[in-house]
Amino acid sequence: MSDAAPIIELRDVHLAFGEKEILTGVNLRLAARERLVVLGQSGSGKSTLLRLILGILKPSAGSVQFQGREVARMRRRPLNAMRQKLGMVYQYSALISSLSVRDNLALPLEELTDKTPAEIDALVDEKLALVGMADARDKMPAELSGGMRKRIGLARGIIMDPALILYDEPSAGLDPVISSVIDQLIIELSEKIGATSVIVTHEMESAFRIATRIAMLYRGRIIADSTPEEFKKSTDPVVAQFISGNIDGPILEGGR
């Protein structure tokens, strides 16, 4: 973990929905240009972490900071300004179904910048070329396959050249080849535009391919946070069971 000023810092973050506690004291610090993969079981609160960073959810306790500013305390306008520095790539792409691929990508540029239509078109073409989807420019989201939609989602996520890109299960539900293509794209994008990335997944192969750092969320807390090499060698029984996929171990027994 770097000592440089963090892009994102979560300190003792708690989140509960009514009686149900989702996060019970998460601590995370992410420096620029890192690719942090957050692993965890389905329903462990991984996607919730991303929504806390985006300010869509507010923590019950603790602090979530983006570039040194407290996200939960931001008012609407600064919060929206902050969100323009973030790119979010959704599990099911979340493309606006009534808009063409071009319009999906152009939307934030048209609404939030003063760029001319020609500049917007050039940027859209550039990002589509980056994800290898230049031919899909005039297609509607319904005409695209799952993998193609994911790539368009990626292109939309980087259209504003964000400082931080958040990926929610980027390779879930895709065949192994397309999954590798998406993983490779994530690495290339983070290197080309110099963005920091947080990738939420429960797919081990993807995690080890993409990550410069891996954290594991279990029972509302980060129980491991290390480089992929160290993570692989972890002696923590939960981490070891999660990596091996063994059915015997503390995860299904409900203990540690």
- Binding-site member from 4, 5, 61, 96 for another protein (CB under 8 A): 96
| Window contacting another protein (CB under 8 A); options: 105-113, 217-225, 233-241, 245-253 | 105-113
Question: Can you point out the beta strands (E) in the chain?
Answer: 8-17, 20-30, 35-40, 61-66, 69-70, 86-89, 164-168, 196-201, 213-218, 221-226
Residues numbered 41 to 60 that lie near another protein (CB under 8 A) are: 54, 56
Q: Which of 182, 186, 184, 185 is CA-nearest to residue 172?
A: 182
- Binding-site member from 1, 72, 74, 107 for another protein (CB under 8 A): 107
- Binding-site member from 4, 61, 112, 134 for another protein (CB under 8 A): 112
- Binding-site member from 8, 30, 86, 217 for another protein (CB under 8 A): 86
| Window contacting another protein (CB under 8 A); options: 2-10, 65-73, 78-86, 126-134 | 78-86
Place of tokens 């027994």: 253
- Binding-site member from 29, 35, 83, 213 for another protein (CB under 8 A): 83
Tell me if 108 contacts another protein by CB under 8 A.
Answer: yes
| Window contacting another protein (CB under 8 A); options: 32-40, 104-112, 132-140, 182-190 | 104-112
Backbone angles phi, psi at 76, to 5 degrees: -55, -50
- Binding-site member from 5, 70, 73, 97 for another protein (CB under 8 A): 97
Backbone angles phi, psi at 101, to 5 degrees: -55, -45
Distance CA 103, CA 179 (A): 26
Q: Which of 13, 93, 6 is CA-nearest to residue 45?
A: 13
Distance CA 127, CA 117 (A): 15
> What is the DSSP secondary-structure string of 136-161?
GTT--GGGS-HHHHHHHHHHHHTTT-
Distance CA 21, CA 96 (A): 32
Tell me if 77 contacts another protein by CB under 8 A.
Answer: yes
Tell me if 81 contacts another protein by CB under 8 A.
Answer: yes
Nearer to another protein, 26 or 166 (CB): 166
**Structure tokens, 147:** 């993998």
Residues numbered 127 to 166 that lie near another protein (CB under 8 A) are: 160
Q: Which residues bind another protein (CB under 8 A)?
A: 54, 56, 76-77, 79-84, 86, 88, 90, 92, 94-97, 107-108, 111-112, 160
